Amino acid sequence: MIVCIDPGHGGSDPGAVGKVPFRLQEKDVTLAVSLFLHDELLQLGHTVILTRKQDRTLSLSARAAFANRFNADLFVSIHANAAASVTPEGMEVFHFPGSARGQFMASRILDRMLEAFPGHKNRGVKEANFAVLRLSRMPAVLVELEFLTHPEQLRFLADEANQRRLANAIAGGIHPGF
């Protein structure tokens, strides 16, 4: 299976920024998890492409066009959530409305993440008309790892061991495929 991994944000777009107990940008978390996910999926025998391998700016349409150009079987956009308050937390995965295969993959990925991290809140599988989901011609999911604005979850996301475990869980949800 050809999997296109999209590390959310990047370059001039930092995405969400957690500030307590220290500063952490979404673009850095998404790239780290995505690179670990790339390696996990390669080991499982998948062909893997990345929309970015370093800190650079990409438009939403360019991300989807990249996946479309390589005829990916699945598009996985990696993100970290944020809120105006410090209290929201949890993991959730989005898919495009009406995409049965997108919903299936979103459910599998979220299930594996929650199995790996049972103490985390399940915010559910949700539909969204996000550009990267809408413009991708293949089933697509957008993974929200946790909230950078929640101090405890910011520490969780900053930890390399957790980043590797998140990548492993997401890979487990993707493999063996549809």
Question: Over the range 69-86, which residues count as b (16 or more CB within 10 Å of their CB) and which as e?
Answer: eeebbbbbbbbbbbeeeb
Q: What is the pLDDT of residue 128?
A: 98
Q: Which of 144, 146, 152, 160 is catalytic?
A: 144
| pLDDT mean by block of 10 residues, the chain; 178 residues | 98 97 98 98 98 98 98 98 97 98 98 98 98 98 98 98 98 91
Q: What is the pLDDT of residue 178?
A: 74
* Length in residues, the chain: 178
Q: What is the pLDDT of residue 177?
A: 77
The domain 2-139+146-171 is placed in CATH, from the list 3.40.630.40, 3.30.470.20, 3.30.530.20, 3.30.360.10, at 3.40.630.40
- Strand 74-81 relative to strand 140-147, pairing: parallel
pTM: 0.98
- Strand 91-95 relative to strand 140-147, pairing: antiparallel
Nearest to 5 by CA among 119, 138, 146, 162: 138
Neighbours of 157 (CB within 10 A): 25
Residues 6+ away with beta carbon under 8 Å from 33: 7, 78, 145, 163, 166, 167, 170
Active site residue 160: no
Break the chain into its structural domains and give their ranges.
Answer: 2-139+146-171
